[in-house]
């Protein structure tokens, strides 16, 4: 049974109605007109990123892997994304070149540079952010 599998997998089935989809997209900053009437090819870069986040979270995921999530987003949308990640109850990994974003949302940070990897978390992470001009 598909519902049993979804329950075991921790995936919650959602009703697939137009209103449910429109409401979900609106929670990611995509207006109803865009959700109902625009082809994906006609969306701006930022709208495509928002659509990607909305699609990724349709099943109410527990883990997110985000590669350069701030690309194509305006500063307001970056702030909303940061707030959403801070409130997210699951785990996530972010690959980004945006130091300020990483410092705001990550509790642990791994830096890859010159063929080596270094890590920081907690108070040490905050100190690194301050010394880099956050």
Q: What's the CA gap between 30 and 26, in Å, rounded?
A: 5
Tell me the per-residue pLDDT of 83-97, one tens digit each, with 9 for 90 and over.
889 988 889 999 999
* Predicted local confidence at residue 39, as pLDDT: 96
Does pLDDT of 56 surpass 90?
no
Q: What's the mean per-residue pLDDT of the chain?
A: 83
- Every domain of the chain and the residues it spans: 1-60, 62-134
**Euclidean distance between the first and the last CA atom of the chain, given in angstroms as a whole number:** 51
The least confident of 3-7, 17-21, 53-57, 116-120 is 3-7
Instruction: Give the pLDDT band (50/70/90) at residue 9.
Output: low
SS3 category, 131: helix
CATH superfamily for domain 62-134: P-loop containing nucleotide triphosphate hydrolases (3.40.50.300)
Contact 81, 73 (CB under 8 A): yes
SS3 category, 87: helix
Closest CA to 45 of 79, 73, 23, 70: 73
Tell me the per-residue pLDDT of 59-82, one tens digit each, with 9 for 90 and over.
878 899 999 999 989 998 899 889
Find the Cα–Cα–Cα–Cα dihedral 23, 101, 125, 64, rounded to 10°: 40
């Amino acid at each position: 049974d598909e519902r049993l599998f979804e329950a075991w997998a921790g995936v919650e089935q959602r009703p697939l109605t137009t209103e449910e989809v429109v409401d979900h997209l609106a929670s990611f900053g995509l207006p109803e007109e865009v959700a109902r009437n625009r082809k994906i090819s006609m969306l701006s870069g930022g709208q495509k990123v928002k659509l990607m986040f909305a699609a990724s979270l349709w099943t109410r995921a527990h883990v997110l892997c985000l590669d350069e999530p701030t690309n194509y987003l305006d500063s307001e949308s970056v702030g909303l994304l940061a707030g959403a990640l801070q409130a997210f109850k699951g785990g996530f990994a972010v690959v980004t070149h945006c130091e300020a974003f990483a410092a705001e949302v990550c509790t642990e940070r791994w830096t890859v540079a010159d063929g080596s990897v270094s890590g920081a978390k907690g108070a040490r992470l905050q100190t690194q952010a301050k010394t880099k001009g956050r």
